[in-house]
Every structure is written in structure tokens, then in C-alpha cells.
DNA sequence: ACGATACTTCGACCGTAACCGAAGCATGCC
DNA sequence: GGCATGCTTCGGTTACGGTCGAAGTATCGT
């Protein structure tokens, strides 16, 4: 029997609650230390250490030693994509964790998906870009138009720079809370950092959620209108 | 911490080798009985039964009782897509199972991915359709052109029927062996059954691989040429 | 009705791995 | 050097889940 690649191995890696929580925490895009990840997983540092070693051996994580800290990140964006995929699937099945905590709404509104914007705001942004004709949506795929390129130039994003990278410019990424696509790829990343740079929004300490300032939110909503229909 | 959907739960479901093997077997698209799945997983029927119950509770599988048999299938194509996703990821990391058995080449050449054609032949078919202008590839997405629609009509596939279904017509699906896209969606399914109907190819008993007859292969290669460049 | 087949449930066993306390390295700071 | 901090390794405990034999339930064939 035994056909094809070994999905059990990575399934098992993701299948432990502590590890899953640590991976989820790393979806925030920031590099985290072993101690921070231990807190995220709800376990002691010793236990976290062995988990992290396993995850690194399985090539889901990579670590960078810096002074007496060890910073862990997801190995690459393929890992991030895989995790968001699984999250989308899990959310679709109603496999949510029952924790109606106060953070949940903020998370649904705007959060980081590895390195780009997700949640209600992420979906709205993509919708608006498509409606404006800045991005062509064909089937599941996305492509930046000439019109879109110049529009982005005005916001302060040089698409030429992004094009030179090996990473695809536009990707669609399934949003687990909205169950619709939002914008990933190097352009998605550039847009999010643009918002940070402008002071429209900021990351939160221990969470994936993104907080918009009142003024930032106003600007964002104006820039990405959604046509009432 | 605990943010977002519970990925650990489904990770754990996929993370057991026996369950992973059973799920992989079901990627062949056929409904299988508990006994067949036990063999696929390399375990006894008792053990398989408990595993299957778990998988069903987790909504990865659905069963249909028929006489004294119970036929299991993947719950829906979202499950198939998820599994192929993970396979692609695992293959990319070199997490292959070391089993250089004789079946491997056949599997790489042509196999079933839930309900459509994958492997070398699957990738070739999509490449050829795109080269011909039958399908537009924009970014990651696929869209059938008018030209493609009439071409399919000639082969004996009525696209109108497919369009009425809720399921998307064209999807791209990452091929774990070729690491490139092949055609999924209802059109992918229709094409594969078309090949079966014509007698060009047939399923194999205990495997996902698809065997083309000499004549069928000739026709297939003629229909989907790949331009030497 | 009886036996055979397909599958599930029960009970018991066992192994793995998750877990933490304590000790061991490594690095930084004074 | 001496001490604090960050992390890993070791040792030992514990518990969960995977496993199968045996028994129980359902369905088919004759």
C-alpha cells in the first residue's frame, strides 16, 4: 500500500496541541524565542525545547541563534500557506476551539496571516482591488493589471522591486474566518508593511490580530471602498 | 493564546500512519469497505473500525451502509484537496517514504487525485490545454476559454452540464510528484471519466495509479501534444 | 433456521511520547 | 570571576492511544 509522500509525519507534527499552538503563534510572522513559544503552547520551556527540536527536524521551523536567544520562525512561506490551508479546512468543519474570549472579534476583523493581512479587512481589500480593476481575478488566480500597478505606485509601493523577487506577486489565500480569499504573495506583504509604516495599524503583543488606529481605519476604508449592492 | 481554528485535531487525525494510509487509499476516489481499508492501513479490522469511527467523527470521512458492507469515502472534495496539499508539501520537503517499489513509476506517470488525473500525464494535459489556448492561466487560476469549450464539445464533453453544478469548473491542484499544477474541478473529473469511458485507461485494483492501454496512450499523447522548445 | 460474512464493541496490554524537576551548557552583564 | 538569563539534556513518571483477541450485532445466502 504505502503510496506517495509521508503525510502522517507532518500530520503528527501538527497534531499535538502544544505544537499547534506554537505554530499558530508563529503565523504572526514575527520570530519568537523558545520562552515565548513555551508560553504560547502552555508548557514549560523544557518541554517546548524538545517540541521545537522536533519541528525543526521536520523542517517546519528554522532557528537563528542571536546572543543567548534563539529565534524561531516558520521555515518558509510554504509552511505558512499549509497552516492557513488547514485552518481554513478546520474552520469549515466547525472545528473551532470554544473560547468566545474578547480577542476573537479583533482577530476576525484584521489579523496577520504569516506576512500579509487577513480577516474581514484583508478580504475587503482584495474585493475592492478587484472591483477597481487593479487586480484581475480569473478562477482562483490573481494578476495585477497595469492600472493596478500605477495605483499602487501612488500609495508608495514600487511593484518593479517586487517583480524581481522569485516569490509570486499575487496569490490568493483562503481566509479561515471569512471563508473567502484574501491577497497573499509579495504584494500582500508589501501592502501590510505599508500600513505599518504609515502608522495606520500596528501588531499586537501576544496575538496575531492587527489593530488599526481610528485615523488609519478611516483611511483604509476610504482607500478600499466596497460598493453597496 | 489559543487562537483560531483547531488545527491540532485534524493534524492528529492525519498524523497516525494507519489512518494516513487509509486516507491515501481513499484518494483513489473509489468507495472502499472497512476490510479493504484495514488492509490498506496494515492493521486488523477491529483497529481499522475504531480509526474509521474517529475519522468519521472528525468529518473527514463519510460512510454509506449497503447490505452488510460499509463503504467509506472522503467526506467531500475539500478533504481530497487538503490531502493532496499536504502531500505536495511533504514531497517538497523530501518526506518521502523510502520504498522504491515497482509501483512508484506508474504512480508518477498517471494516477487519480481524488477524482481527476494527476502525475506526469495530468500535468502534460493541463500544459497542452493552456498552450492551445483552451484554458487561460492567470496567476494560479484557470479559466476555460470559448475556444476550449468548443474543443471539449468535440471530444464529447458538454461543458454546459458542468457549469450548472455548484462546483468550480477549473481548479488547479498542485501535483506532488511533478510539483506543478494539474487540472482539477468538475472539468478535470469529466475529462478523466471520459478517458475511462473511451477505454483509453482504467483504474488499478489496490492503487491510485491509472493504466493507459497502448492505443489509449497514443490517442492521449496525440490529443495533448507538448511543443518541443 | 442456520451458518457465514462484515463489521463493531469490549477488555486488556503495551509502547510511545508528552511532561516536568533538576542538572548541565552557553552567553551576557557587571 | 561571579552571577543571572536563556535554553538544552537527562531521568523518571504518567497517561493516552494504538493494537489485537474475543465476544457481540447485523445482514446475506441457502
Model ipTM value: 0.77
Could you tell me if B66 and B48 are in contact, meaning their C-beta atoms sit under 8 angstroms apart? no
What is the C-alpha separation between A223 and A127, in angstroms, rounded? 12
Average pLDDT of span A70-86: 92
The secondary structure of chain B as a DSSP string is ---SB-HHHHHHHHHSHHHHHHHHHHTTSS-EEHHHHHHHHTS-HHHHHHHHHHHHHTTSEEEEEETTEEEEEESSHHHHHHHHHHHHHHHHTT-B-----THHHHHHHSEEETTEEESHHHHHHHHHHHHHTSEEEETTEEEE-HHHHHHHHHHT--HHHHHHSSS-S-EEEE-TTT-SEEEEHHHHHHHHHHHHHHTSEEE-SSSSBEEEPHHHHHHHHHHS-----
- Chain D bases near protein CB atoms (7 A cut-off): 5-10, 17-23, 26-28
What is the C-alpha separation between B220 and B222, in angstroms, rounded? 5
Residue nearest to nucleotide C5 (CA to C1'): B68
Average pLDDT of span B102-106: 69
Between residues A192 and A96, the one the model is more confident about: A192
pLDDT of residue B67: 79
**Cα distance from B168 to chain A (closest Cα, Å)?**
8
| Angstrom distance, B68 CA to D30 C1' | 17
Question: Strand C and chain B: which residues 29-48 have CB closer than 7 Å?
Answer: 33-35, 45-46, 48
pLDDT tops 50 at residue B29: yes
pLDDT of residue A228: 57
C-alpha cell at A121: 479587512
**Structure confidence by residue, pLDDT tens digits, B38-84:** 999 999 999 999 999 999 999 999 998 887 889 999 998 899 999 99
**Structure confidence by residue, pLDDT tens digits, B154-174:** 888 888 888 877 778 888 777
**Cα distance from B34 to chain A (closest Cα, Å)?**
15
| Angstrom distance, A51 CA to C20 C1' | 14
Could you tell me if A12 and B16 are in contact, meaning their C-beta atoms sit under 8 angstroms apart? yes
What is the C-alpha separation between B186 and B169, in angstroms, rounded? 5
Average pLDDT of span B18-35: 92
**Cα distance from A127 to chain B (closest Cα, Å)?**
16
**Structure confidence by residue, pLDDT tens digits, A213-226:** 999 999 999 999 98
Average pLDDT of span B18-25: 96
pLDDT of residue A96: 62
pLDDT of residue B2: 57
Instruction: Indicate the pLDDT class of residue A40, thresholds 50, 70 and 90.
Output: very high
For chain B, what percent of residues have pLDDT higher than 70? 92
Instruction: Indicate the pLDDT class of residue A101, thresholds 50, 70 and 90.
Output: very low
Per residue, the 3-state secondary structure of chain A, as one string, reads CCCCECHHHHHHHHHCHHHHHHHHHHCCCCCEEHHHHHHHHCCCHHHHHHHHHHHHHCCCEEEEEECCEEEEEECCHHHHHHHHHHHHHHHHCCCECCCCCCHHHHHHHCEEECCEEECHHHHHHHHHHHHHCCEEEECCEEEECHHHHHHHHHHCCCHHHHHCCCCCCCEEEECCCCCCEEEEHHHHHHHHHHHHHHCCEEECCCCCEEEECHHHHHHHHHHCCCCCC
| Angstrom distance, B39 CA to C15 C1' | 23
What is the C-alpha separation between A170 and A87, in angstroms, rounded? 21
Average pLDDT of span B124-128: 91
Q: Where are the domains of chain A?
A: 7-75, 99-223
What is the C-alpha separation between B204 and B159, in angstroms, rounded? 28
Nucleotide nearest B66, CA–C1', reads D27
Please answer yes or no on whether B97 and A6 come within 8 Å at the CB atom.
yes
C-alpha cell at B196: 475511462
**A193-202, B158-167, B211-220: which has the minimum mean pLDDT?**
B158-167
What is the largest distance, in Å, between two alpha-carbon atoms of chain B?
59
B53 touches strand D (CB under 7 A): no
pLDDT of residue B137: 79
pLDDT tops 60 at residue B132: yes
Question: Strand D and chain A: which residues 44-63 have CB closer than 7 Å?
Answer: 45-46, 48-50, 52-53, 63
pLDDT tops 90 at residue B25: yes
Could you tell me if A84 and B7 are in contact, meaning their C-beta atoms sit under 8 angstroms apart? no
pLDDT of residue B97: 58
What is the C-alpha separation between A118 and A210, in angstroms, rounded? 9
Please report how many Cα atoms fall inside a 13 Å half-sphere around the Cα of residue A208, on the Cβ side.
Answer: 31
**Mean pLDDT rounded to a whole number for chain B:** 86
- Which among A3, A89, A139 has the least Cβ separation from residue B107? A3
CATH assignment of A7-75?
1.10.10.10
**Structure confidence by residue, pLDDT tens digits, B171-191:** 877 777 776 778 888 899 999
Q: Which residues on B lie below 8 Å from A138 (Cβ)?
A: 136, 138-139, 141-143
B219 touches strand C (CB under 7 A): no
pLDDT tops 50 at residue A17: yes
Amino acid at each position: 500500500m504505502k503510496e506517495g509522500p509521508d503525510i502522517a509525519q507532518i500530520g503528527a507534527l501538527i497534531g499535538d496541541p502544544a505544537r499547534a499552538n506554537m505554530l499558530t503563534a508563529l503565523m504572526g510572522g514575527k520570530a519568537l524565542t523558545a520562552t515565548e513559544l513555551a508560553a504560547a503552547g502552555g508548557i514549560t520551556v523544557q518541554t517546548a525545547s524538545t517540541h521545537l527540536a522536533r519541528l525543526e527536524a521536520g523542517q517546519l521551523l528554522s532557528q537563528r541563534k542571536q546572543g543567548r536567544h534563539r529565534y524561531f520562525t516558520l521555515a518558509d512561506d510554504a509552511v505558512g500557506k499549509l497552516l492557513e490551508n488547514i485552518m481554513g479546512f478546520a474552520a469549515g468543519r466547525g472545528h473551532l476551539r470554544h473560547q468566545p474570549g474578547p480577542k476573537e472579534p479583533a482577530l476576525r476583523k484584521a489579523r496577520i496571516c504569516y506576512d500579509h493581512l487577513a480577516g474581514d479587512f484583508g478580504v475587503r481589500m482584495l474585493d475592492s482591488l478587484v472591483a477597481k480593476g487593479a487586480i484581475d481575478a480569473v478562477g482562483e488566480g490573481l494578476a495585477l493589471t497595469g492600472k493596478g500597478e500605477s495605483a499602487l505606485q501612488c500609495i508608495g509601493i514600487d511593484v518593479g522591486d517586487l517583480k524581481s523577487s522569485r516569490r509570486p506577486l499575487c496569490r490568493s489565500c483562503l481566509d479561515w474566518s471569512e471563508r473567502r480569499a484574501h491577497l497573499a504573495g509579495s504584494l500582500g506583504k508589501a501592502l501590510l508593511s505599508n500600513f505599518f509604516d504609515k502608522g495606520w495599524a500596528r501588531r499586537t503583543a501576544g496575538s496575531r490580530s492587527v489593530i488599526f488606529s481610528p485615523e488609519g481605519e478611516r483611511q483604509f476604508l476610504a482607500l478600499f471602498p466596497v460598493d453597496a449592492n
